[in-house]
Structure formats: structure tokens, C-alpha cells
Amino acid sequence: MENRDLIFIHTQENSHSIPASFCCSSKASFTNWLIGRLPGYNLIASPEMNAMQSLYFVKHGVKVTAGPVHKIMLGKYGPNKGGIIQQLNINGSAHLFINCHLDSKSPELRHSQAQKILSFASSIPIEPENILMSTKLHSSVFLNSSKQNIHCNKLVLFGDVNARLSCTELEAAQIIENAGLFVVKDKNSPLKMSNPVISEAQIYKTLRDFDELNNGLLQLKERNVIDFAPSYKLNRGQLFYQLRKPGWCDRIFFSDDVNTEKTKYYQVKVPGSDHLPVVLEGTLVV
């Protein structure tokens, strides 16, 4: 990934919540660890809120500036649920990047929290004089706007949205066992069985039909069809699932106004957390 102009890293339970996480038990040590491994990059912003953390690395020579940070705290556990919203001005175009953590119990509450976060983000004023106008393409957008607040419609959301499958736990277990892909009965068994009955692509497609966010997160959509295993819930520090219904909790969504090309959406099998991290690579066109 070191040939990328921008590297953004978002965690939702970095600090005290998961002390055994691969991200380390300390936000500072995790940040320093990354800085040491990305010598060709500047860390231009590192907002955090309780256990949540966002890190924005920009390659030397790339013109990106960090704007203001906004935070919204939600849920009965206080600031451990909610969102961190970072404005970045990329080649003169304002984007809002959202790190969010939604409720784990109630689909209705998750939906309500997502609505609040996106409504809050959409209401954040972007002052024209604070945006670097580097291309003629955007100049007409801000014509006669010097005294008006402009709201950003380019949103990218990363986070633990805690999406679950809409089927029952028994139905999910039957689908998984019939595929021979995951083992849900024996926690000491490996993640994969040697001779699955159907292909991985088929099992992912079957499970996706039950995905709570199959049609997106409100007005936001994913840029790629998920073709990797559910990211949750694993035994902490190990690469096999617990005795419960799995889900694609860790997701990346975009508003329609964000222009991307050649995106690749995948999962990294790194033991440590009870989640597997999800990555999106691609080109942001501005």
C-alpha cells in the first residue's frame, strides 16, 4: 500500500476496549508504530473519541489539507458509539470522512444512529474561503457564495456498523455448515474445512441475501460487492468463529458524489481482535 497517495486507517475499539487487539493497547503506540512504517508520509490528522481513532496519512508532495473535526456521541455507552467526522480538502475539493461505531443490539437503533450521524455530517458548513480552489472545474460551484454556508455532499463512511444477518441463528448455521466453509460447533476447528460442498463465492452470495445492509446504509452505497467472509465474530486472537450468527460488521460506504475508480474491497486475516479488518483500495478522482 505504500505507493498510495492517501492511507486512512480507522479503528473503533482500539484502546481499553480490546487490549489484545493487533492495533496495540495504546493509541499512541499504534500511531507511532504506523509512523515508523510509513516514512514517506505525513500524518495530517489523528482525531479520536474514547476508544475510536482515525489516522490520515498523506504521501509527501501530495496536496491535501485537513479541515475541522466534528464529533457526535450516541448510545447508552456514551462516546464509544457515534462518529468522528474529518474534513479533508483534496485538490481543492472538500470531502468528509466519517469513522463510526453503531449499536450492536438493535437494527432500529443502528438505523436511527446512522441517520443522526449522516444528518449531522450533511449539516456541517464548509466555508468557501477555507477550501483550496485549485481547479476551474469547481469554481462555478462557489460562484457568488462568499457569504453563504456550503454543505459537503462528498461523504465516505468507514466503521463498525454492526450489521447482522436477517435470518435466524439456526438458518445461518445451516447455510454455513452446508457450505462446509466455517465451523460453528467446535471452536478448536480451523476457519476453513478442506472440502467445501459449494464455492466460497456461492456461500457469500447466499449469506449476502440476508445482509441487513444489502441495499446500502441509507443514502450511502458500497463500491464493490462483498466477496469475502463475514468479519465478525471471531474468538479473540484466533481465526475461527464463535458460536453465534456471523455478520459483515466492518464496512466502507460512499455517497454518490464521491468519484472512485478501480476499487478493490477485501479483508485481512489478522488475528487479535474479534473482528477482521476490511480494506478498500482504489483511485479517488477529484
What residue has cell string 515508523?
36
Is residue 247 in a domain?
A: no
Q: What is the spatial distance between Cα 85 and Cα 110, in angstroms, rounded to a whole number?
A: 18
Is pTM beyond 0.95? Reply is no
Is residue 199 in a domain?
A: no
In angstroms and rounded to an integer, the radius of gyration of the C-alpha atoms of the chain is: 20
Q: What is the spatial distance between Cα 236 and Cα 274, in angstroms, rounded to a whole number?
A: 4
State residue 256's pLDDT score: 94
State residue 111's pLDDT score: 93
**108 phi/psi in degrees, rounded to 5:** -65, -40
Is residue 250 in a domain?
A: no
- Closest to 152 in 3D by CA, of 122, 179, 173, 177: 122
The residue segments making up the domain with residue 42 are 6-162
State residue 263's pLDDT score: 94
Q: Where are the alpha helices (DSSP H) in the chain?
A: 27-37, 107-123, 169-179, 200-208
Supply the CATH number for residue 127's domain.
3.60.10.10
Is residue 202 in a domain?
A: no
Is residue 106 in a domain?
A: yes
Q: What is the spatial distance between Cα 162 and Cα 206, in angstroms, rounded to a whole number?
A: 19
State residue 115's pLDDT score: 95
State residue 101's pLDDT score: 94
- Domain tally, the chain: 1
State residue 152's pLDDT score: 86
Low-confidence spans in the chain with pLDDT less than 70: 1-2, 14-25, 75-79, 127-149, 176-200, 234-244
State residue 45's pLDDT score: 97
Is residue 237 in a domain?
A: no
State residue 276's pLDDT score: 82
State residue 184's pLDDT score: 41
Is residue 196 in a domain?
A: no
State residue 85's pLDDT score: 97
